[in-house]
Amino acid sequence: MNRISVAHPKLAGNEKKYVLDCLDTNWISSNGKYIAAFEDAFAKFCGVKHAVAANNGTTALHLALVALNLQPGDEVIIPTVTYIATANAVRYCGAVPVLVDVCADTMNIDPADIERRITPRTRGIIPVHLYGHPADMDALALIAKRHGLWVLEDAAEAHGAEVGGRRVGAIGDCATFSFFGNKIVTTGEGGMVTTNDDELAKRLRLYRGQGVDPERRYWFPVVGYNYRMTNIQAAIGLAQMETVTAALAERQALARLYDEALATLRDALVLPGVRPGMHHVFWMYTVFLREGDEARRDAVMKSLDADGIETRPVFYPMHVLPPYRESNAYPVADEWAQRGINLPTHQFLTPSDVGRIAASLKRALAR
C-alpha cells in the first residue's frame, strides 16, 4: 500500500515554466523579474503594502527583528509552543525570548499569561499562528498598545488565515512567512516579511542586501546581511500565488473530510476547533488524545506508521529544549503538547486516504 506522507508540495501550475524561463534567460541570482512580481503578488494576497522576500522563514524573522532595532539584552515575548526558529531569531539578536503559555483550544499564545511576563526590557510580542489557526490578535493589540510594544506575527504556518476578515500578515506591525517545502505556499526554501510601515520596509530592504546604500554602490552605512531570495525561488513562488486560492480551498475540503471521518472517535480524540471570527487554514490538521492519555501518544503514532501513515508530534515546548530550558511550569503547554498529533495534511490526499487514516487511528486507539 502507498505510504501517506504528512506533507507533500503541489507544483502543478506554472512553476516549471517560470523556472525554465530563469534558466533560459540566465537570471538565476537574486536579480530578475520574478522577485518583484512574487513580492507584489504576495503583498496583494495579504492585503498589505509591502512584502520583502528573504531566503527562508528564519532569516525573515531575524531580518524583521533587526529592522525593528532589537538590541542585546532586550526581551521579546513568544509562545512556548512554536517551531524553534521563533526563539532562535530572538537569540541571534542577543535578545532574550520570554516564554508564555498557550491556549488549549488553539495552542496559540495565551494573552492572559502575557502581562505578568512584561518587564521594562520588553520590546515586543511574536504571536505564532500555529498550524494555521490565527492567534488572538485583538487581545494582543490591546496589550501591545498599553505597554508600547510592537507585534511581529510569525505567520510561517498560516498563509491566508484571517482574523475578522483581515488576513494575517497585515495585522501586526510586521509579519514573517516561510515557504519551506512543507508549508502552504512553497519556494523550496524561502521567506517573506510583510508590513504597512514604509520606513520599516526600507530598513528591511537595506538589511536584506548587505546594508548597501540604495543610492551609492559599494557604500555600506550599516552591517547588513545577505538574506536575498533567488529569482528561481521567486519564480516558483509566483506560480504558487497563481494557484493559492485553490490550494486553500483544497485544505478546507480536507479538514471537512477529517471532521466527518473522525467524528465517531470524539470520545478518544479532541478534534481541531476554530474560534468565532477566525479563519483556520489547516497547515496541519492536529488532533489531541484525551486527558491522561499522553503516555499513549507515541504508541498511537507508531501504530499509524506501521500502517504506512506518517504523522508528527506537536512541537516540544521551548522550555523543555536544551537551549531554552527553564524550570517554570507552563501547565497548558506541558499537558497538551504531549497529547498532540499532526495528521497528514496536503493537497494530494483523497477521501479514501482519509478513510484509511481514520481506520488506522481507530485501531490504534482501541489497543
Give the interface with ligand PLP as residue ranges (CB under 6 A): 56-58, 82-83, 85-86, 128, 154, 156-157, 178, 180, 191
Q: 57: burial class by Cβ within 10 Å (0-12, 13-18, 19+)?
A: buried
150-154 vs 122-125, strand pairing mode: parallel
Rank residues 130 and 289 by Cβ distance to ligand PLP and give the closer one.
130
C-beta separation of 191 from 314 below 8 A: no
Least distance CB 83 / ligand PLP (angstroms): 4
Query: Which CB, 57 or 224, lies closer to ligand PLP?
Result: 57
The helix (H) or strand (E) run that includes residue 174 is: strand 174-178
* Least spacing, CB of residue 19 vs ligand PLP, in Å: 19
Q: Which is nearer to ligand PLP, 74 or 154 (CB)?
A: 154
CB of 318 to ligand PLP, least distance (A): 11
Q: Is the Cβ of residue 6 or residue 365 nearer to ligand PLP in the bound state?
A: 6
The nearer residue to ligand PLP, 156 or 261, going by C-beta atoms, is: 156
Q: Please, what is the minimum distance in Å from the beta carbon of residue 97 to ligand PLP?
A: 13
Q: What gap in Å lies between CA 300 and CA 121, rounded to an integer?
A: 43
- Rounded CA-CA distance 150/74 in Å is 13
What is the closest distance, in whole angstroms, from the C-beta atom of residue 299 to ligand PLP in the complex? 26
Round to whole Å and give the CA distance between 89 and 286. 26
Whether the Cβ atoms of residue 251 and residue 347 lie closer than 8 Å to each other: yes
Cα separation, 23 vs 338, whole angstroms:
46
3 state SS of 309: strand
Nearest residue to ligand PLP, by Cβ distance, number only? 57
